[in-house]
Structures are given as C-alpha cells and as structure tokens.
Amino acid sequence: MLVFKNKTAIIRILSSTIAKIEAIKSRQSFKMRIAGVVTENQSAIQFIVSVYFYCFMQHHYSTLLDIPSSLPLPKVICLDAFGTLFGVRGSVGQIYSEIASKYGVDCTPDALNKFFYTAFQNSAPCIFPGVPTAEILQYEYQWWREINRQTFTAVGAIEQFADFDLFFQHLYRYFTTPAAWEIYADTIPALINWQRSGVELAVVSNFDSRLHNVLEVLGLAGYFSTVTISTEVSAAKPQPEIFTAALAKYQCPPQSAWHIGDSLEDDYLGAGNAGLTAIWLNRG
C-alpha cells in the first residue's frame, strides 16, 4: 500500500495523471490498459494513482540489477540509503522489543512496529536550520528520542521503564552496529558494476549522522565519493535543495544525474521535481 506523508505528492500525481488521461481518453487502447487495475472497491484516488503507475511511470524496478543496461549512464548516480542499499534486520519492532526486554519491559514487536511508523510518519523532518554544526548530533538524538517516547507511550509501556534514557542510549547505539542491518543481495553487485563503468556514486539520505558509521561498518562507504545527509544541509527529501547540494559536490547539472530510492514521494517525486532522472526502487 502506498502511504504519503502529505497531500503534495498526491496532488502532483493527480495533476499529472489527469492531464495525460485527458490527452488519450478517446483512445480505445486506454480502456484496455486500465482494465487490469480496476477493482470494485477502489476509491477514486486509488484508481487514478493506479492508472498513473500502470501507464505512465517511466522508471520503476524491483531491484537495482533490474535497471536495464541499455539505459545511458549518467555522470552521477545518487542513491538513497535505508530501504535502497540496506534494510533493518528483522523489523524495527523486533529490535525495539528485544532491547526493551533487557530493561524489564515487555512489548509485542508488531505493536511497536506499527506505532513506530505512525510516530515517524507524523514527525517533522529531521532537519534543524540555524542550529550550529556542533549541536546537530544532540538535536538528532533528541529527535529520535521523541519518536521512541511516542512509540512506547502508544503501546502503554513508557511507565514500565525504570530509566528510559538509559534504554534509549542503548537502542540508539545499537543502530550504528552491523547487527541492526542487512545489505540487500543486489546492492553490492550493482555498485560494483556502476563503479567499474566510471560513474560517480553518491548517497543522498534523510538518515541522520550515524549513516557515515553505518556505511563504514557495512562495508559500503568505499563505493561512494560523497554522502549528503538532510541534517547536514538543512533540507530533506523531497525538497529539491538536498539534491542540489549533493550535485554541487560534482558540479553536475541535474539532467546528468540519476537518483534511485525506495520512497515514491521522497525519492521518485522529489528527484524528478529537482530535474534528475528519477528511478523508483519498489522492493515490495
């Protein structure tokens, strides 16, 4: 199921789709093309979004290796990190539950997973304009602490902690270790292929500053010449400024770059609106 953080992405999709539908609605082939995506219970928005993806989305693949070699390579390939290069080992809820149990707190992984993503999706972007660079790490820490507080409050477990801050310190550090993550099977082969082709590889991510260490411990850092993180440039995907900041490191115009990511809103729509060739990695 597609989940959008705000109405902007839906409006962009609908506006684009409606214009294209108007241009071809008289064609019989259009009726045949959409027949396979209509179901009896779809809402109007779901239907139109389905039409968009089925008919008009230019670049969408299930793995990095599915991107056709016939697609001309750009000067720079930007990639998202979490959900694109690597994912959580197990689930966020499982990790939270396991570490919480060490502090005498019993919560089901499914409930923690559900309420974590609710808190995460409802949070403001992890960016702190005007905050001195020396203070960014502390702001990131407090941002994640609040999401965790909301998560454990929602499952009714916050009062079970004798020392929530001690637990959170443990949890926060855990996500800098390789034990928390798994690299997708297609990641390294794809990076090797692109690197051998002479393409510059860059990470563009809404992750926090821990990403630098995560890339190192996962053995991925060496594939990338730059890493651009939202907290470091005071802009988060889908804002165009983060893509502009990333490409400025290469003096590369957006039309000479790709961006690949698993988020339809943040990566595909964000990069496309910034002028890059956007590729949606739909890992399902």
pLDDT value of position 11? 54
- What whole-number distance in Å separates Cα of residue 114 and Cα of residue 124? 18
Residue with tokens 């019993």: 106
Tally of structural domains, the chain: 3
Q: First CA to last CA across the chain, in angstroms?
A: 9
200: domain CATH number? Answer: 3.40.50.1000
Shared-domain flag, residues 34 and 149: no
- Residue 218 domain-assigned (yes or no): yes
102-129 residues labelled b (16+ CB within 10 A) or e (exposed): ebebebebebbbbbbeebeeeeebbbbe
Paired sense of beta strands 200-205 and 76-79, if any: parallel
Same domain, 81 and 189: yes
Question: Which DSSP helix (H) or strand (E) runs through 136?
Answer: helix 136-154
pLDDT of residue 33: 40
Q: What pLDDT does 60 receive?
A: 86
Structure token pair of residue 234: 């005071």
Same domain, 191 and 72: yes
- The pLDDT of residue 51 is 53
188 is a domain residue: yes
- Do 40 and 160 lie in one domain? The reply is no
Q: Burial of 91 by CB count in 10 Å (0-12 exposed, 13-18 middle, 19+ buried)?
A: middle
Looking at 180, 208, 240, which one is the last position of a domain?
Answer: 180
Domain-ending residue, one of 180, 210, 243 = 180
48: in domain: yes
Tell me the CATH number at 165. Answer: 1.10.150.720
pLDDT for res 45: 54
Let me know if residue 159 belongs to a domain: yes
- Residue-range definition of the domain harbouring residue 135: 89-180
Asked if residue 3 lies in contact with residue 122, where contact means CB atoms within 8 angstroms, the answer is no
Decide if 2 is inside a domain.
Answer: no
Render the burial of 131-152: b for 16+ CB within 10 Å, e for the rest: eeeeebeebbbebbbebbebbb
Q: Is residue 223 part of a domain?
A: yes
Which token pair is 255? 């039309």
pLDDT along the chain (284 residues), means of 10: 49 52 42 39 52 62 94 97 98 98 98 97 96 97 98 98 98 98 98 97 98 98 98 97 98 98 95 96 88
Looking at the fold, whether 149 and 64 belong to one and the same domain comes out as no
Domain assignment present for 257: yes
User: Is residue 162 domain-shared with residue 30, that is, in the same domain?
Assistant: no
